[in-house]
Structure 1
Amino acid sequence: MATQQELEQLAAQLRQPNGAAGIDVANMMNENNIGMTHHSISRLGLRVGHRVLEIGHGNGGHIEYLLNKADALQYTGLEMSELMTEEARRLNQQWVENKQAAFFLYDGNQTSFNDNSFDKVFTVNTIYFWKNPVALLNEINRITAEGGWFNITFAQKAFMQTLLFVKFGFELYDTKKVEEVVAKTAWKIANTGSETETVKTKTGELVEREFTTITLAK
């Protein structure tokens, strides 16, 4: 059984990986979240030349999968973790060099992008850490082109509340709660899809995880 200090440290790393431990946590996150990430990407409806933004890309181990979904895709990733920005650039060096991928730091609230900069946006397992969900959703709406989509993928509250570390800085959501937040923004909900998968928790147990992707349309 993990101690409270170990759980607090894990929660902090999941929010914003840093140091040597951050690399290990990022690798674990990529492995455990890959099903959710593929689900979110597959529901973006990517087409030739789409400009794609991801909020919270982690180590970027899934970028090649995304860029192979259609020709001439342009990917941009935003992270609050300097370590994850560096790691994603390292793991995706060929895509960065051919200018199909770019990774940037941001503060979790505002971006420096122009209006209508992206066709499709997605995020996986970051909503728990949003300090001001309404403001961030409206900021993403601003930088998304007319007719664009934003996929929010998250594990349902019923699953998340079984994990001991989530009491340290996580805001938990179910579909209704996300819908209530979205209703306060400029977005419209276009689609909702859920799946259940067997995963290993951050503390090593195998469990059934229900997760959902909510597609917002501008």
Structure 2
Amino acid sequence: MEKDQLKALASQLSHPSGEHGNEIAQMMHATNIGMTKNAIANLKLAPNDSVLELGHGNAGHLEFLFSHYPTIHYTGLEVSTLMNREAQQGNKSFADVGLASFVLYDGTTFPFEEDSFDKCFTVNTLYFWQNPLDLLAELSRVLKPKALFSLTFSHRSFMETLPFTPFGFTLYNPDEVLKLVAQTSFDLHHEDSQLETVMTKDGQAVERQFSTLVLKNAK
């Protein structure tokens, strides 16, 4: 790909929009589903938990989520208007009975009251956080005391092999994320690191290392 094409792809990955947005979202769902399932599994969800997801994309994973945890209450946050609309349309059956709702936000301030959620997860959004400490402080505010947060991301060593990550991505290894966490009101509950095989856009199988850092809200 040319540099301009790589920049355009990076922009779509951070904020899907326009005619190619849904195609990108479907690709992200397919490549991220293993990481998403890992993030969810590490939360140890309980009946009637209120669950927040930061950056839900097209929310194609909600069928899996509710098939395993049918009584939770899910709220998804997104900066992408297109993904907000697609998630609502694709999960209308869950939204109509009050199990799921989808909310747009500005990427900084969460439009919720304090202590609103029991659990939270996010997958592959960390790279796009403009002010990580401010975002984590806002997340702590809306999570209940001792709430768990699954922060799932691919390691720097893998992400650096992708040609689009120089454009708008901030890459991390787990130790770098933990240095950020040490400056917040979150404590590390446990860490789950995995190695999985995923397919690239050109059909090549590659190994991706990722971690889920499960953080406890210690406010």
SS at match of 1:20: coil
2:57 corresponds in structure 1 to 58
User: For 1:101-180, what aligned pairs fall within 5 Å after superposition?
Assistant: 101-180=100-179
User: 2:168, 2:76 → 1: CA distance?
Assistant: 23
Aligned AA for 2:65?
Answer: L
Match of 1:10 in 2: 9
Q: Is the 8 A contact 1:47 1:71 kept in 2?
A: no
Distance (whole Å) between structure 2 residues aligned to residue 153 and residue 201 of structure 1: 19
Any stretches of 5+ residues in structure 2 without a counterpart? none
Over aligned residue pairs, what C-alpha RMSD do you find? 0.9
| Letter of the 1:51 counterpart | S
**Count of residue pairs the alignment pairs up:** 217
Aligned to 1:208: 207
Q: Distance in 2 between matches of 1:194 and 1:15?
A: 23
Post-superposition Cα deviations, 1:125-177, rounded to whole Å, max 9, x if no partner, equal 00000000001001101111112101100000000000010000000000011
SS in 2 for 1:122: strand
Query: Which residue in 1 is equivalent to 2:46?
Result: 47
* SS at 2:165 equivalent: helix
For residues 35 and 70 of structure 2, what CA distance do their matches in structure 1 show? 23
Q: What is the percentage of aligned positions where both structures have the same residue?
A: 44
Matched residue type, 2:112 = F
CA deviation vs aligned residue, 1:157-214 (integer Å, no higher than 9, x gap): 0000000100000000000110000011010011001111111224543210000000
Hey, what's the Cα distance between the residues in 1 that align with 2:39 and 2:16? 22
Greater CA deviation, 198-207 or 103-112?
Answer: 198-207
Offset of residue 27 of structure 1: 0.2
* TM-score normalised according to structure 1 size: 0.97
CA distance in 1, matches of 2:161, 2:100: 36
Unaligned runs of 5+ in 1: none
Whether 1:22 and 2:26 are equivalent positions in the alignment is no
- SS for the counterpart of 1:83 is helix
Q: Which runs of 4+ in 1 moved over 4 A?
A: none
Q: Judge which range, 63-72 or 189-198, deviates more.
A: 63-72
- Preserved CA contact (<8 Å) 1:46 1:69: no
Equivalent residue, structure 1, for 2:183 = 184
Deviations, residues 74-132 of structure 1 (Å, cap 9, x unaligned): 00000000000000001100001001000011111111101110000000000000000
Query: Partners of 2:38 and 2:70 in 1: how far apart?
Result: 20
Quick one: which amino acid aligns to residue 23 of structure 1?
Answer: N
Structure 2 length-normalised TM: 0.97
Change (3 A) 1:71 1:61: closer
Hey, what does 1:72 align to over in structure 2?
71
